[in-house]
Amino acid sequence: MELWFIYGLIAAVLIASRDIFTSKFTSKYNVTEHLLYYYFLCGIFIGIYAFYKKYIAKERVNLIHKEDLWKYGLVAAVSVIIISPCQVLSIRESKNPGQAKAIVNLNTLFLFLMSVYFIKSEKITTKKIIGILATVFGIYLVM
């Protein structure tokens, strides 16, 4: 089994656990409070992680290049202002967080289609079309 697949499975289980947490805590805190606490604490842990990587693991940690700053800023702004609240509201408003995540995880299909168009590293084949249709049908059945 390839390493990327194992990392993906670990992430999938942990993301599911995070989403259960989100489902429970958005009834206690409003969306803004939840996102504030979550991202503030994430920032602290990312800082600790970067400190560890730089000073303990001796990994090079560079500052962002000036020409990339606006790109990171734009993606971060869209993530904080639109994506995260939509994800949290979707989980909070659904009867089952799994259904909300099934819709959100259509991002895999959108990413595939965008990579075919923009990166041109993949070709759409009959097998991939069948996979896309099976995914959409599976999500429909989950709903």
16 and 40 both lie in a single domain:
yes
What pLDDT score does 74 carry?
Answer: 96
Nearest to 92 by CA among 28, 11, 10, 44: 28
- Helix ranges (H only) for the chain are 3-25, 31-51, 66-78, 84-93, 97-104, 107-114, 126-142
What pLDDT score does 40 carry?
Answer: 96
What pLDDT score does 29 carry?
Answer: 93
90 and 124 both lie in a single domain:
no
What pLDDT score does 67 carry?
Answer: 96
User: Domain tally for the chain?
Assistant: 2
What pLDDT score does 52 carry?
Answer: 97
89 and 52 both lie in a single domain:
yes
The residues, any chain, with a CB within 8 Å of residue 108's CB and separated by 6 or more, are 135
17 and 58 both lie in a single domain:
yes
Domain region containing 140: 106-143
> Which residues of the chain register pLDDT less than 70?
none
55 and 115 both lie in a single domain:
no
Q: Characterise 61 by phi-psi region: left (phi > 0), alpha (psi -120 to 50), beta (else).
A: beta
Look up the pTM and report it: 0.78
79 and 111 both lie in a single domain:
no
What pLDDT score does 118 carry?
Answer: 86
Q: Is residue 101 part of a domain?
A: no
77 and 134 both lie in a single domain:
no
